[in-house]
Structure 1
Amino acid sequence: MPDPNAVPRWDCAAAVRAVSWADRSGQAVPVAVALLRGLPGVVEAVVGAPVDGAAVVIPLRTGDALSVCCDGEPDPRLAPLVDTVAATLDASRADGGAVDFRDAVLSQSPSFIALFAPDGGLRWGNMTHWPDGTVVRYDETNTSAISGMVHPDDQRTLLSLMSSLHEREPGGHDRHTARVRLPEDRWMVMDIDIFDRYDDPLIGGLIAYGRDVTDLHETESTLRLIATQLKILVDSLEVGVLLQDADRVLLIANTAATALLDLRKPPAELAGLSWEDIHRLRGLPPAYYTELDDLARRCMADGVPVRGAMVGLGPHKVVELDFVPVRVGKLRLGALWVMRDVTEQVELQAALVRRNEELSRLAALKTEFIATVSHELRTPLTTLTSLTPMLADGAGDRVLGQAVQRNVNRLATLVETLLFLAGLESHSRSLVITHTRMETLVLEQIAILASHAAARSVVVAHRPPPTVTVLTGDRDLLARMIHHVVAAAIGSSPPSTTVRVTSHVDAERWSLDVTDENPLPVAASRMFTTMPDGGSGAEGDPLIGSGLGLTLARAIAERHGGGITFTRSAAGGTTIRIELPLVGLAAEATPI
């Protein structure tokens, strides 16, 4: 819209041009009133009902009047100029207001529209101010307008497009994105569409449409940044990632995926290729991909997520795949594939299975061996047990008979212990689950072994804990476990020494330390199979000092979720520690 203050005063022709140009943007009346108000001696100019006392009143075709009030005697040039302006207003409204209505609507558009004449001058626009707030001047050229509001880095390209479009493509169209100045030295991003309409008899110029796309540009920049970061992240993953659209066109592939599938192109060159194109880039024999292709067809047909599917890629590679359909509501947008090379894990798992099978076989052989040996020993021992009482009653052979009977009884006890141990390890003995006070159990076993300790001149010193611990388990087995551990310490102790028994409890486990003064005689791992120093009991418990008793104690502890360890004590002796979890077997009564 032209600036009324820039129109030469009292120039009727200039006033006609100004009002006519303003009419193209629906601003004819405001420009006419502003132009008249700017004249010397004029105090008011109004379009509407005639004003009483006005110096000049010109009726308009719309029924209104153009009234001009002056301060004093009006200038003789005023009446002709007012009449000229009124005639121009009548001419601008000859279409019944259609142009005014159209221009008023266009002036509210969020996009700017500018029409440039062939000489580059601005002929019409739907705005009164440029985006930076400066007033639109209809006598300025596109060069001055662009230089004033477009960012310097974008000016040359935009001017080149506007000046060469008619020559390059008469009647054609170009688009350019440029930064446009806003008030306070801010910038917005604008998409500018340029249409060549020089040869149009009604338009006869170059039309420029501008739209503010700042938010869109910032969003696109953010999305590009996120996409770049995501691409870097995906490409750095050790798992293979493939993303395809609903038409099975590949959108994303990372380096790990191309390596797993042995594709003969880098990931950047795979985007946009169809699934059939990807097939032709695979480097392994076609038969190697049979399982993978079958799984892919099923997944795409069913459209349901698949997790951890194992497929072989030939005889020497195993791949684990996840398939995730990508949907928005019921609309399927594509699918995501995640692949992991699990060849090494599968091989390790298979080796572990083989190892476990071998260990199970060896354990079964060991258990079978113990049961067999015990059975073979039991038959002759039964006979000896029945004959030795007769030998013990004979004259002159009484001492010999008693010795034979004592040793036979010991062998019988060892055999029964072997059978009991075999029952534990073969899971053929059931547990009787009860709640047991462990401190009471310790005191009972110390009392039972008191005579054996006295016979060896060994003192058993017990330090009870401040609290009582109740565990859940088989009371008889737990008692037998404590018995064999304390008995082993008594049997390995030299005369005139002390065995110290101490129990502890923390947040997770109950423990019992049995410490003697005899240095650890052998490696801890061999304590379960060797006879500690001190020999076996001459009288009473035949397992005192025997490694078999410790083996049995360990089996009982492990069955209750605990274990037994050997360490060298601070005083140089040996500490046997039993550890059992505070959370016991509960109501479990399954065979062990």
Structure 2
Amino acid sequence: MEPAAPTVPAFPVPLAVVMVDPDGRVLTFTHSAEQLLGYRRPDVLGRQLGELIVPARLRDGIDDPLRPLYDACADEEGQGHRALPARRADGSEFPADVLVTPSEGHGYVVVIGSLPAKADERRQSEWFHRALVGRSPVVTMVYEPDGRWRWSSPAAVRLHGPGRPTTGVAESIIHPEDISLVRKLFAAALNAPRTGDHVLGASDAETVEVRLRPPGPHGDEWRVYALTVQNLVDEPAVEGIALYAIDVTRAVDAERREQLHSARIDTLIEALRVGILVEDSERRAVLANDALARVLGSRLSAHELIGEHTTERLPPAEIFADPVALRAETLRLVAQGKPATGSEFTLTDGRVIVRDYAPIHAEGAVAGHLWVVRDVTDQVTIRRGLEERNRALAEVATLKTEFVAAASHELRTPLTSIATFSQMLSEEPDAPADQRQIALEAIARNTNRTLRIVDDLITLAGLEGGTLPLTLRAVHLPDVIGEAVDSFAESAVQAGVTVDLVGNVTGPMLRVDPARLRQAVEALLSIVATAHAGTRIDVRVTFGAAQWTVRVGSPSALAAGDHLFTTGDRGAGNALSFLIARAIVSRHGGQLATPRTGQTDAFAINLPVRPHLPDADA
């Protein structure tokens, strides 16, 4: 007859003693164990105790959930201890305290105690925190204030190995260069100031990066941990110095890769000879190179520009000849949100820059703006020179007929007079002395006139051929124009012509040959005075768009069919004077525009500012 199954007492037995073999199988099952756990002794002999008393939800797939307690008997403390919910034979659970100690013979003695109901909530909380700590990747260690080790989390045990981490073990897993830093943090936590009755909290603890690795020849390479040391001496549950370490190797490696990538980008951008400016979506500068300031000629360095709203700092009015146009173009490109290249802008120092724009897209939206600026002054100078040469050739072709007719007339008239009077003297050798004197004076006068025309032709050839040297020096252009007007005004008054000069303007110094430039202006004044005898000539000097402009003209317009370079007596010499003036302006790198029929009768001299023009041009 089988014995009756034990009944569960109304008040659980405080302790149950069970002996198990090294594999955790039950060897002896006392009467108190039958009463506390509800199992009959014959039913449990040879079975693993962990399978009997540990609820399935706490086994985590481990064959013997009590094995960690058995293994703990090999530690210095020689015992395994854990509080957990224990399961009875009928499936009910109760809070239990399990203590495992090695037996003198073979196996382990397991003592299972029923915890008082009042401690249940506290133990449940303890189990909750132990479960979190056991699965946490955070390395946690607790030391006594005197530096003796007390406890390590599972993550810490995986780092320093089983057993007590001695000073030698600790120093073996800490990089030699970081040991003094760890000691300094420990000392700082130990001596942390207090606020009232408590040490300053975790928010005041310093976190630093140190290098750690597991001990032994097969340990991984040095890894980076974020280490924090806190003084928890006043915490009743701790009463020690706590060290927390989190493996941040991946984050540090990613940060270093990002820094390396950024360094490469910065080096590349700095090596470029073009100016680079990168803005965020709010038009704040986030990246700029030193070439930007060099290209623009700005005193604002790339470092000073970072973080600034470029709408407030660029474009500097003193740099761009037309900052209003540049700002309008910038706003148009940003609003349009499409790449654009080749926008030319002139600087106040005469240089020309080209600006390219590209929006920076991220997740389907414009996240920033890229501007590329480069100096194209040399290319533009060559291009404009070719354009000017083409215009000059077209203009020469247009004026060719009138110039040839006018030059022929000027030469024919004095030569005809010379020939006529010479023939008279030869045919009338006995002519009265007064007639002979008149003839000789006419011959001399027309000979000198012919020589002047020949000199003008030689001058023109020298200017256009580049054989006539210029003596350049820096001048204030309105002063030179004023001297030309004053010189011409003395003879103009006799012809009933008045000259008004408006030239009280500011602008940069210009390198010119003052004598030749005065010659060009006087020639234009003479041409206008010839076409409009008895009228007023206006001369206006202005500066803008990196160039000086001199306008010479009359308020009255040319009549239809009228010519500045007429072959009549009134315009004799005008065509040659104009070509000389145009050649002088061209040698200075400028342009001379002629009046058009039906428009205001004004010549326009445009002289760009060229800071690199040499002092002498042979």
TM-score w.r.t. length of structure 1: 0.45
TM-score w.r.t. length of structure 2: 0.43
